[in-house]
Each structure stands twice: as C-alpha cells, then as structure tokens.
Amino acid sequence: MSSDLITLQPEHRERVGAKLQELAGSAALSDAVESPNGITLEIRAAATFDFLKAAKEDPELQFEYFIDITAIDYSDYSEAKPERFAVVYTVLSPITGLRLELTAYLAESHPQTQSLVPLFAGAGWCEREVFDMYGIRFAGHPDLKRILMPDDFDGYPLRKDYPLKGRGERASFPVYEASEGHGRNI
C-alpha cells in the first residue's frame, strides 16, 4: 500500500523551516524550530495574516489545512514573554505532512489581531471561542460574538486574573427546564 504523503527526511524539514523563516522575515520573533509533529515559530501579531496567506499559497509549503486556534495568558508565567497574551495557530501542509504552530503575541492593552476567516473559513468558530474565553478580538471577523458564555457575561473566564470560583454569576445564568416527560430538569 502506498501513501501520497511525503515522508520528510531531516534535510527536508530544515528546508521547510528555512522557507518559513524566509517568509516571516523581520516579523519573526524566533527561529523556526522543529518539533515532533512539525515546526514552531513566533511572529509579530500584525504579520500573522500575511504570513499564513503566503505559507498557504507557496507551492513548496502549501499550509492549506486549518486545524486550530487557541490562546495563552502569560501573566503569571515563569519565563518572560514579549506580551501577556498569545494566539497560537495550527495549520497543516498535506503535501509535507508537517504542522506549523505559529505563536503571535498581543499587547494586554489592545489584545486584537486580524481574523483568518478570509483564509480559512473554519477559523470562525475558533476565533469566537478565543474571544469569548480570553477577550481577544479578531478584526474583520464576520460575526464575532460570544459562543459559550451568556451575551451579558462580564469577564473572560480563561484569563489568569479571573477568580477560580467565578464572581457569583452562575446564580444569574438562565436555566432551561425540559418539558414534563421529556428529559430531566436542570
């Protein structure tokens, strides 16, 4: 049985890493580093969209499969980081089998970056989740609103400064009860 997936030799991984480093140029905050599943790179948030667009369209790279977006709050992290917040993007190149994990740092005073929805339609839900849990905004998102918390919820539960037991808001969450004989009451 043959596979269409290219098995990369170490020199091929280095070539992909060098190409990504070249695409990032002066926006790179670190060197591209090989990880067990691919390559990691830190970049300036303002360059994220253009970098991922170039990595997607480059015929040698083709990082065209969107996997995930998440965020990190580094406010009480033991190592110094450039900013309090980071958005971490994961994309895959089907031709190389490599994942790219791209970390973009955002200032605490203005945690915002450009939406990837024009590049990857699947990014929409992930951006909404990051917005809802961390308060990070995605400029140009077609429908950026809460997805997990009530619309009138005050705060962002995954920020390190949010109290572990909440602020008592659970008592005011709407409760929906199932009609008699159809499920159980909540």
Query: Token match 């808001």: residue?
Result: 169
Provide the CATH number for the domain around residue 43: 3.30.460.80
Give the H or E element holding residue 133. Answer: helix 123-134
pLDDT, tens digit (0-9, with 9 covering 90-100), for 35-92: 877 899 999 999 999 999 999 999 999 999 999 999 999 998 888 899 999 999 999 9
Angle at which helix 48-57 crosses helix 10-24, to 10 degrees, equals 140
| Mean pLDDT of the 150-174 span | 73
pLDDT of residue 3: 47
Q: Which residue has the higher pLDDT, 180 or 50?
A: 50
181, part of any domain: no
* pTM of the complete model: 0.82
Residue 33 lies in a domain: yes
Above 50 in pLDDT, residue 2? no
pLDDT of residue 28: 93
Q: Alpha-carbon Rg of the chain, whole angstroms?
A: 20
Query: How many structural domains does the chain have?
Result: 1
Residue 56 lies in a domain: yes
Residue bearing the bigger pLDDT, 77 or 184: 77
Type and span of the H or E element at 153: none
Distance CA 170, CA 176 (A): 14
Q: Is residue 23 part of a domain?
A: yes
> Per-residue pLDDT for 93 more than 90?
yes
Range of the domain at 45: 10-172
Q: Which residue has 């905050």 as its token pair?
A: 29
